[in-house]
Amino acid sequence: MNTSEKADKGSLRFRYIKLCIFFSGLSVFAQLYLFQPLLPMVAEHFKTTVGDSSLLVSSTTIGMACGLLFFAFQADSYSRKKLMTFSLISSAFFTIISTWIPSLPLLIVIGVLKGFVVSGVSAVALAYLTEEVSSMVVPLAISMYLSGNTIGGMSGRISATILAGEFGWRNAVLIIGIESLLLGLVFWKLFPESKFFHPQKVDYSLKVKQMRVFLTDPYMLRLYGIAALLMGVFVSVYNYLTFRLEAAPFSLNHFVIAFIFLMYTFGVLGTMITSRLSGRFDKKYILKGAILCMLLGLCLLISTNIYLVISGLGIFTLSFFAAHTMASQMAALHAKQGKSSATSMYWLFYYFGSSFLGSATGYLLNATSWPIFTIVLIVFVGVSFLMTVTKNKQE
């Protein structure tokens, strides 16, 4: 089929693709971290600890990681649209039924299942865009998807906090689940079918061989380690900062805390800055600089001055997204063959870091204090910085 038939700017097909891919990112990330701002309410409702309640966030990201591993092998054997539609509608179903789950362990199981099915969107969204959209407007289409991710994560957290404060956390979950279902139905009706991709048989041996190569490459392993540590620290901060801001000396109410998540707009800024700098400076220096700025932001979070804490959170958020954007680019560029396998492995480490550290640091905070918790996070980020300055003989 002639590539001139690919969706181009101004065409109706491109407008539908752009709109629906934005909606998909909005739905996925609103659901993925739905419980993050609700952890204090959930912990109180189930009479459990900070660490135990954090499993509601980690369970979804564990499911996401497992789903990405599964779809790394299986995604090409399904229709792109059918897989993404199934992911969006089934994940919304799991979010809706979460409203009536009576126990925390069962809610955690539902979270794993939701994360697994919703990973189908992340597994093929970028592949669909590069296949179906004209090369001139691929960056615009991808930016719409990433904007949906960021805005979905931010708006999901803000709306969940406000709705839970007004109507209770279960009703907040129900409302966001219904909204996600509506987005899934719109996606199903409007998203164009693939023209340039047809389901095909998977070569498992080739996939395994490619992954083995990346897992024995010191350069890639360091990037994967950086992804795991930085994402784990990022999720830890956003998981537990709500607990701290509700307590003395801040004692903020839920409405004010909700708008703390507007700091995600700094994440968009971090991604944009990195994209501009990457054409002018060596990528490894940009990564090092971003990680050092994350350390500065974390140091400010120890303060008991609310203005310093907010400033620290802004610096930390901007720097994390800058570092993540740079590390993921470096992983994709380093892979001469099997780029999809290389990026799949990156996302696996990214979400496993989120799951493991996101919960482990909750138990640490429960047993110690916020300053000790933050110092441990500083150590993790310090280790990731050391990974950027270590070299092997092949580099």
Distance (Å, rounded) from C-alpha 283 to C-alpha 16? 34
Distance (Å, rounded) from C-alpha 152 to C-alpha 32? 9
Distance (Å, rounded) from C-alpha 59 to C-alpha 184? 22
Tracing tokens 């007004």 back to the chain, one arrives at 166
Bridge partners, 7 (sequence order): 133
pLDDT number for residue 230:
97
Q: Is the dihedral of CA 320, 331, 388, 364 positive or negative?
A: positive
Distance (Å, rounded) from C-alpha 177 to C-alpha 345? 29
Q: Kindly report, residue by residue over 345-391, the tens digit of the pLDDT.
A: 888 899 899 999 999 999 999 999 999 999 999 999 999 999 998 76
CA 189 to centroid of chain Cα atoms: 26
Among residues 145, 165, 374, which one has the least CA distance to residue 254?
A: 165
pLDDT number for residue 392:
55
pLDDT number for residue 181:
97
pLDDT number for residue 391:
65
Cis ω before 102 (30° cut-off from 0)? no
Find out whether 259 and 77 touch, Cβ atoms under 8 Å: no
Q: What token pair was written down for 325?
A: 């954007």
Distance (Å, rounded) from C-alpha 228 to C-alpha 358? 11
Find out whether 122 and 68 touch, Cβ atoms under 8 Å: yes
pLDDT number for residue 325:
81
Q: CB 277: neighbour CB atoms within 10 A?
A: 17
pLDDT number for residue 303:
96
pLDDT number for residue 50:
85
Coil/strand/helix, residue 337? coil
pLDDT number for residue 340:
64
Tracing tokens 């592949």 back to the chain, one arrives at 127
Tell me how far CA of residue 291 lies from CA of 16, 322, 372, in angstroms. Answer: 38, 9, 20
pLDDT number for residue 393:
47
pLDDT number for residue 139:
65
CA 176 to centroid of chain Cα atoms: 18
Cβ neighbours of residue 166 closer than 8 Å, sequence gap 6 or more: none
Find out whether 354 and 61 touch, Cβ atoms under 8 Å: yes
Domains of the chain in sequence order: 1-202 (1.20.1250.20), 203-395 (1.20.1250.20)
Contacts 24+ apart (CB under 8 A), 81-85: 81/191, 81/192, 81/193, 81/194, 83/120, 83/123, 83/124, 84/24, 84/120, 84/121, 84/124, 84/125, 84/128, 84/187, 84/191, 85/184, 85/187, 85/188, 85/191
Q: What is the mean pLDDT of each run of 10 residues along the chain (395 residues)?
A: 70 92 91 90 91 91 90 84 96 96 95 95 83 79 75 88 92 96 97 89 81 90 96 94 91 85 84 79 92 98 96 96 86 74 82 91 94 98 93 53
Q: What token pair was written down for 188?
A: 């199903």
- pTM exceeds cut of 0.95: no
Strand runs labelled E in the chain: none
Distance (Å, rounded) from C-alpha 314 to C-alpha 300? 10
